[in-house]
Amino acid sequence: MTQETQSAPSWRSQVIRVAKSLLQPLYALYQQRLETVVKNHAMPKHIGLILDGNRRFAKALGLDGKAGYEFGVDKAHEVLGWCLELGIPAATIWVLSTDNFTKRGQDEVQHLMHLFEREARNLAKDPRIHGNRVRVRAIGRHDLFPEDVLASLRDLEAATAHYDGMALNIAVGYGGREEIVDAVKKLLISHKDQTPESIAATLEPEEIGQHLYTADLPDPDFIIRTSGEIRLGGFMLWQSAYSEYYFCEANWPDFRRIDFLRALRAYQARDMRLGK
């Protein structure tokens, strides 16, 4: 093998680094112009985020899949900041499904539980949460969660329950089908003095909607999923009937501000007729 052949990969790497450094100012200018365009149009009232691709991100770096969740946590904090800066009134982020909780390895689930407890404690002290009066809630089925995790989630909710700023829902142990089942159960309990026949005779979709986890919020008008998967996977099945969707190729930890801005620009360019 010649010296020229041996040095080729190194030479190509140097060219790539130089090209990136030269393009960086243009890239920053493009992002700045894109942000100006986005800020001059209406923002979603409620954005849904499906945080997919943490494990694939880690494995691409040669790391254990669980390490990807640490990167994912950092990205979630970053994206929260973007939402606050852009004045988005409500966001629901899906971090763990009911299927994930029951079907993934015990070590991985325990690692996630540790992260949930730690991050709930961190959010309860986060100056951005209190400075922007963000109301945080954990939605989903939590009956199998360890008590220390439940306590940290309850403390976070209590610390922000009186706030009237952005509404942040953390969907953890969440499934769209389970949410609908829980809503129907609550509805039946609220009409316990009536017969099933009388309930069925007057039942309307709006009444079920009143018992969903997010009943006090507008339905999400925009949902983003990362990692290139083109499916909802059960996310907010009832509420997403008229949502606009955007599927980003980047894995969640690789999701950049410019990706977020591009998604918002795509949303703003659509003709949203809401079934009309």
Active site residues: 52, 100
Bridge partner residues of 222 (DSSP): 47, 244
Helix H or strand E encompassing 31: helix 3-39
3-state secondary structure at position 95 = strand
Q: Quickly list DSSP for 121-187.
A: HHHHH-HHHHHTT-EEEEES--TTS-HHHHHHHHHHHHHHTT--S-EEEEEEEE-HHHHHHHHHHHH
Q: Cβ distance 94 to 171 under 8 Å? A: yes
Spatial contact of 115 and 162, defined as CB atoms under 8 Å apart: no
| C-alpha distances out from residue 140 to 102, 153, 156, 179, Å | 14, 12, 15, 7
Report the C-alpha gap between 91 and 167 in whole angstroms. Answer: 6
Q: Are 169 and 213 in contact (CB under 8 A)?
A: yes
Token pair 């100012």 is found at 25
Nearest to 51 by CA among 169, 209, 180: 169
Distance CA 220, CA 117 (A): 27
